[in-house]
């Protein structure tokens, strides 16, 4: 099955700086990689995703990069704001018969004003 | 509101109680999921239903019993739970078993077993 490792577990940045969260996956057949943001006491929400046929995707201040050879993908947040503070989860889904999302352990991002 | 509603939001139960968690989605999705979220651990997949049929049971103890009467509703029946079962239980749905558009999560039920 798929195994997803996520680092770091906690990350503190100054407002306006960039934040980078990295994930690795084990199943080379994985082809879909979403990122979720979970604010305190709220549900996880999909913020960006990438498919294995592209290497990078951007949406305003958020970008995700994918390196299929190295089996890792990263979330980049630029010009961070206090409202970016949350737990971020990466996930991967394999192309096998059990096509469910396997999640990383999460990164607590704190943006300091 | 994202279209996936979970009730109750909070639940405190004794180890001998029987209770049920409810999930309802109004998105026309065909697949529904139960996840357990414990502190500092990855989201743990518990059960997967597609078109009301269970397609995945990740070695979950029998004290957790899912039920999917139709494609819009999913229940998790709880009985004789242990304190380590205290966690946030999240329901999610997706268009089908090919989650190429991700999952939509409910707000979760915060369960405390005393």
The 10s digit of each residue's pLDDT in B74-90 is 999 999 999 999 999 99
Which tokens in the block code for residue B62? 């029998």
Share of chain A above pLDDT 70, in %: 95
pLDDT for position A98: 58
Q: Is the pLDDT of residue B109 over 80?
A: yes
**Of A81, A77, A68, A17, which Cα lies nearest the Cα of A47?**
A77
Distance CA A41, CA A26 (A): 30
Which tokens in the block code for residue A67? 């390196």
Higher pLDDT: B64 or B57? It is B64
Distance CA B34, CA B29 (A): 15
Do residue A99 and residue B105 have CB atoms under 8 angstroms apart? no
Q: Is the pLDDT of residue B1 over 60?
A: no
How far A113 CA lies from chain B's nearest CA (Å)?
A: 25
User: CB under 8 Å to A58, separation ≥6 — which residues?
Assistant: none
Do residue A103 and residue B33 have CB atoms under 8 angstroms apart? no
A chain contacts of residue B50, beta-carbon cutoff 8 Å: none
Q: What is the pLDDT along chain A (113 residues), one digit of tens a residue?
A: 788 999 999 999 999 999 999 999 998 888 899 999 999 888 999 999 999 888 999 999 999 999 999 999 999 999 999 999 999 999 998 665 556 788 999 999 999 99
pLDDT for position B76: 97
Distance CA A34, CA A43 (A): 15
Distance CA B114, CA B98 (A): 38
Work out the average pLDDT over B47-59: 82
B chain contacts of residue A46, beta-carbon cutoff 8 Å: 102-104
Work out the average pLDDT over B94-102: 77
- Compute the mean pLDDT over every residue in chain B, rounded to the nearest whole number: 90
Question: What band does B99 get if pLDDT is binned at 50, 70 and 90?
Answer: low
B92: left (phi over 0), alpha (psi -120 to 50) or beta: beta
Backbone angles phi, psi at A28, to 5 degrees: -65, -15
Q: How many CB pairs under 8 A join A and B?
A: 55
Q: Is the pLDDT of residue B106 over 90?
A: yes
User: CB-based contact (8 Å) between B59 and chain A?
Assistant: no
Q: Is the pLDDT of residue B101 over 90?
A: no
Do residue A9 and residue B40 have CB atoms under 8 angstroms apart? yes
Q: A39-59 pLDDT, tens per residue? A: 988 899 999 999 988 899 999
Stated as kind and residue range, the H or E segment containing A96 is none
Question: What band does B69 get if pLDDT is binned at 50, 70 and 90?
Answer: very high
**Of A38, A23, A27, A8, which Cα lies nearest the Cα of A100?**
A27
């Amino acid at each position: 099955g798929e195994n997803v490792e996520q680092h770091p577990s906690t990350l503190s940045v100054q407002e306006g700086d960039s934040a980078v969260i990295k994930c690795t996956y084990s199943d080379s057949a994985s082809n879909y990689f979403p990122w979720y943001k979970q604010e305190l006491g709220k549900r996880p929400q999909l913020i960006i995703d990438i498919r294995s046929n592209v290497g990078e995707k951007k949406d305003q201040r958020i970008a995700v990069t994918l390196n299929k050879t190295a089996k890792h993908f990263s979330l980049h947040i630029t010009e961070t704001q206090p409202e970016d503070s949350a737990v971020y989860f990466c996930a991967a889904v394999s192309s096998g018969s059990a096509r469910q999302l396997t999640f990383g352990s999460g990164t607590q991002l704190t943006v300091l004003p | 509101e994202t279209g996936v509603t979970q009730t109750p939001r909070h639940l405190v139960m004794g180890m001998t109680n029987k209770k049920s968690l409810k999930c309802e989605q109004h998105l026309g999705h065909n697949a529904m999921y139960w996840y357990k979220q414990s502190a500092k651990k990855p989201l743990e997949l518990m059960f997967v239903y597609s078109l009301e049929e269970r397609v995945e049971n990740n070695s979950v103890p029998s004290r957790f019993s899912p039920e999917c009467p139709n494609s819009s509703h999913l229940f998790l029946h709880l009985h004789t739970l242990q304190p380590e079962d205290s966690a946030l239980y999240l329901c999610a749905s997706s268009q089908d078993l090919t989650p190429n558009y991700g999952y939509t999560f409910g707000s979760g039920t915060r369960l405390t077993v005393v």
